[in-house]
Amino acid sequence: MDFALTEIQQMVKDTAARFADEELKPKAAEFDQSHEHPQEACRALGELGFMGITVPEEYGGAGLDYICYVLALSEISRGDASVGVIMSVNNSLYCFPVMTFGSEEQKKNFLVPVASGQTEGCFGLTEAGAGSDPSAMRTTAVLDGDEWVLNGEKKFITNGNVSGYAVIAAVTDKEAGYKGISSFIVDLENTPGFSVGRVEEKLGIRASGTAELVFEDARIPKGNLLGEPGDGLKQMLTTLDSGRIGIGSQALGIGRAVLEEAIVYANEREQFGKPISAFQAIQWKLADMATALDASELLLFKAAWMEDNHKHFEKQAAMAKMFASDSAMNAAIEGVQILGGYGYSQEYPMERHMRDAKITQIYEGTNEIMRLVIARNLLKGK
């Protein structure tokens, strides 16, 4: 067993870390306050190959492995968690299903622009009444000649207000239950009947748009069906497994930012004639943070390695996402505590990290659902 990074993996990590420190951290507070989509940063990430890390170069990506994905995404999220989730959704929730289930023609037409970072992609599964339970989905797709007609609304869609393309789940056979759900690629900029609805005002990751997607007799070509009719749920669940590695990496990056800033503050802040880092109460908080974050990284590396090697990784992805997000949230709470009043003030970024960390316990499967996924695999002997 070798824990050393390859030369390429180390280069990816160093490049991402430099970009986070020089381009993202100085602007993160401004983006958080303005809620502005960081388009310039996203285009720069595309030039670095980070918006389609595991996508082969012939389709606009970097052709790297999932370990590189974890390394790059955690560093980018350390710089700005909003940019991190934009990158995660682009890679995991749009590029992955198109690359995995799309035809050669679909990859050339719909993968290249997103993997190369020319525009963003998004993933439309969640609805107002269908979150953890996709069987309650109401969005429908009806075949009419050479076109599918989409009707319905998708909720809480990351990148939804800025994306050029989307993978959308819809019911194509109401009588077939779970087996009646199909997936479609939608060119959002050239589909009459599509509109962006409400854009959410959120607690955290506020530079990342979270929008409602509205389809009213929206017509898309018959050839935009992803895979076969009825394959949608299976495709979505596989996609979410990969996506959970991304969200775990985002959480890891947030936790790393918390730990770095807590150490700096603890060494500078003095009480009773010494830096507060000299007190055991502070040391223990830092030690617990560091241990949990290192453990999170190892869980993420294992899940990424299993995905790279085409092994069943559903359990490992759920474990990594659950543990990393819980660790990030715990670290952020303690980080605020270490900074005291300053931790609660917007003068320091710690309060932003706490707001950003919370969502990682919720999206792409709540941590309660993660525990169900883990238990189901354990009971099946996987």
Q: Tell me which of 54, 88, 120 is where a domain ends.
A: 120
**Total number of domains constituting the chain:** 3
Residue 2 lies in a domain: no
Does 309 lie in the same domain as 199? no
Shared domain for 146 and 64, answered yes or no, is no
Q: Per-residue pLDDT for 135 more than 80?
A: no
CATH number at residue 20: 1.10.540.10
365 class by beta-carbon count within 10 Å (0-12 exposed, 13-18 middle, 19+ buried): buried
Verify that 330 and 200 share a domain, yes or no.
Answer: no
Tell whether 177 is covered by a domain. yes
User: What does DSSP assign to residue 94?
Assistant: I
Of 120, 144, 172, the residue that ends a domain is: 120
Q: Are residues 128 and 222 in the same domain?
A: yes
Tens digits of per-residue pLDDT, 81-124?
A: 999 999 999 999 999 999 999 999 999 999 999 999 999 999 99
Say which amino acid occupies 156.
Answer: F
In a domain? residue 147? yes
Q: What pLDDT digit, counting tens, does each position of 295-352 carry?
A: 999 999 999 999 999 999 999 999 999 999 999 999 999 999 999 999 999 999 999 9
**Which among 212, 200, 46 has a CA at the least distance from the CA of 118?**
46
> What pLDDT is recorded for position 225?
98
Residues 269 and 194 both lie in one domain: no
The verdict on residue 43 lying in a domain is yes
* In a shared domain, residues 29 and 70: yes
Q: Are residues 21 and 75 in the same domain?
A: yes
**Is 353 part of any domain?**
yes
DSSP string, 190-231: G-TTEEEEEE---SS-TTS-EEEEEEEEEEEEGGGEESSTT-
| pLDDT value of position 146 | 96
Confirm whether 1 is domain-assigned.
no
- For residues 184 and 292, membership in a common domain is answered with no
204 part of a folded domain? yes
Question: DSSP assignment, residue 90?
Answer: I
Q: What is the pLDDT of residue 156?
A: 95
- Per residue in 38-71, pLDDT (tens digit) is 999 999 999 999 999 999 999 999 999 999 999 9
- What is the CATH number for 293? 1.20.140.10
pTM here is 0.96
Say yes or no: 150 and 48 in one domain: no
pLDDT in tens, 243-258: 999 999 999 999 999 9
CATH code of 206's domain: 2.40.110.10
b/e 187-222 (16+ beta carbons within 10 angstroms → b): bbeebeebebeeeeebebbbbbbbbbbbbeebbbee
Which residues are tagged catalytic? Answer: 364
Statement to judge: residues 11 and 115 lie in one domain: yes
Domain limits for position 66: 7-120
Give the pLDDT confidence score for residue 186 in this predicted structure: 98
211, 230, 249 - which closes a domain: 230
249/352 same-domain check: yes
Are 241 and 366 members of one domain? yes
**Of 106, 176, 170, the residue nearest 142 (C-alpha):** 170
